[in-house]
Structure 1
Amino acid sequence: MSKRIVLIDADVYAYKAAAAMEVATDWGGGYWTWHCDATEVEKRVMSMVEETMDNLNGDEYRLCLTDNDKNWRLDVLPTYKGNRAATKKPLVLRHIKDWLIEEHDAIIRPRLEGDDILGIFATWDAIKGEKIIVSLDKDMKTIPGLYCRDALTNKPEVMEISEEEAAKWHLKQTLSGDTTDGYTGCPGIGVDTAAKIIESGTLKVPYEHTLKRGPRKGEVETRFKDDQTDDLWACVVSHYEAAGLTEEDALVQARVARILHRDDYDMKQKEPILWTP
């Protein structure tokens, strides 16, 4: 029987523990401070890891962390996660991440997000065993394999994502965007609409329409009608074009939405390979 390797989004565990342990103190006279016991945060993080391993019957774990200093997605979309710049981070978050690296062999790689490391490991044949990704981030549904959204429950749900489902989820994200991560997707298309478009293969087809009344009578304008196709990238592009954008705009969104698979990363150069349809 193969060993079960649990791939954990350690960014989430570190953040949750560090935020939960902060205490605001009122010293009087309008003077307040935050303080936090880093040792207690360390204990809380490892308690979460141990609980995850118990609930999933894991044999080994990998803790995956984001490089806070550089992010390859900013080269593709400079505004990526720009909406988080002013958000207060827990006091000891950086310390906890450093501690996880030094004391628990947490994995961090230059310019990669923790999600990318999870995706690479999950799709890397060199890592033998049954691999389960544990992450609150729904973007992990773009990775084929086993996925658990929340392992900190008595009966965590483990779902299996097929190659087809993962590819479709990526294109849905390309259309709907993710405001949390600061990429917008296609204007006017939300999560539910994106799912319908990809599941049905809805293609926007342009045609010329002559106005028959009103002050613009006689003018010709481009309109779009729905059709169906098996080419899902063509579906995505057609909706961007119907919104007045281009295939290049769609490609930018698709690339930042893509959680790296093993084939999306050059191990020798230590560089992402940008997704191409």
Structure 2
Amino acid sequence: MSDQPRALVDAELYLRRCTAVSEYEIEWAPDDWTYVCRHGEAKARFQDFLGSVRDALPDHQLHLCLGTAASFRYSLFSAYKANRKASRKPAGYSQLIQWVIAAGELRGWNIAMLAEVEADDVMGILCRPGDVIVSEDKDMLGIPGLHLRGTEFAEVSEHQADLNVFSQALIGDTTDNYPGCPGIGKVNAKGILAGQPDAAAMWAAVLKAFEKAGLTRRDAITHVRLARILRAGEYDVDRELPILWSPPDGPP
């Protein structure tokens, strides 16, 4: 493995963004409208974006992180991301993903994919000291380290990353379609986790909140696993399976 630090890029997020702004409505005839995505524009925008990452991180090697259709989270919670089924992706988006994979070798892009996990998890699993996570996804703030979010750098400590994860587990996530702990919003979650010195104490506070709401330990564990992006050491390369988070107070 090279010692060169890496820029771990959320390729799906930025490619989708570049594709969406390259899509246009066209009226072919009166009352006949369609969407057209100009893939040449989308590709150019994406390459310009990667150029900006190179400018910001000239000493880092680009690694474009992609997910797979199968994610372990679907087996944890059947309604995970079910609200997205009706959402239309930009026209030809899946073909542009294939273009990124095929173009990677020609353009010197390192393509990173792992079975059974999402692009977010790939970034988290690969991240080591010196690397930078390039993403504006809030879930990535559950990974300790240096982040490039747009044009701003942000350093996330392990304590803050854990706070972000446990807070999200309490609140739930309407984007990913899991409910969280009933009656808990951002303000309540902040109060529950205030002053907790470490991950073990945060987990104890989260578990107490779930049980107080009439839910089970299993419910609490599931929500933490849904909210928590996998970190370094949490993937079995030989079996091609994620190693799921386990609570610090004993087996699930």
TM-score (norm 2): 0.89
Q: Quick one: which of 113, 118, 122 aligns to 2:127?
A: 122
Is this contact kept in 2: 1:21–1:41, CA < 8 A? yes
Q: Quick one: which of 203, 209, 216 aligns to 1:233?
A: 203
Any idea what SS the aligned residue of 2:140 has? helix
Structure 1 window deviating more from structure 2 (109-118 vs 186-195): it is 186-195
Q: Quick one: which of 178, 181, 185 aligns to 2:176?
A: 181
1:22 Cα deviation from its structure 2 partner: 0.8
Alignment of 1:75-154 (within 5 A): 75-104=75-104, 105-123=110-128, 130-150=130-150
- Aligned residue pairs: how many? 238
Does 2:46 correspond to 1:45?
Answer: yes
1:3 Cα deviation from its structure 2 partner: 4.2
1: CA distance, partners of 2:188 / 2:149: 23
Larger Rg: 1
Matched residue type, 1:273:
I
1: CA distance, partners of 2:92 / 2:159: 40
1:58 Cα deviation from its structure 2 partner: 4.3
TM-score (norm 1): 0.81
2: CA distance, partners of 1:276 / 1:59: 33
Is this contact kept in 2: 1:4–1:57, CA < 8 A? no
Matched residue type, 1:196:
G
Q: CA RMSD in A?
A: 1.8
1:29 Cα deviation from its structure 2 partner: 2.6
Q: Quick one: which of 156, 159, 166 aligns to 2:154?
A: 159
Any idea what SS the aligned residue of 1:27 has? strand
1: CA distance, partners of 2:59 / 2:174: 33
Give a deviation string over 1:51-88, Cα, whole Å, max 9, x none.
12213334311111121x21111011111111101100
Any idea what SS the aligned residue of 1:32 has? strand
2: CA distance, partners of 1:272 / 1:112: 7
Uncovered stretches (5+) of structure 1, i.e. residues with no partner:
124-128, 151-155, 202-229
1:272 matched to which residue of 2?
A: 242
2: CA distance, partners of 1:59 / 1:244: 48
2:107 matched to which residue of 1?
A: none
Alignment of 1:198-277 (within 5 A): 198-201=193-196, 231-277=201-247
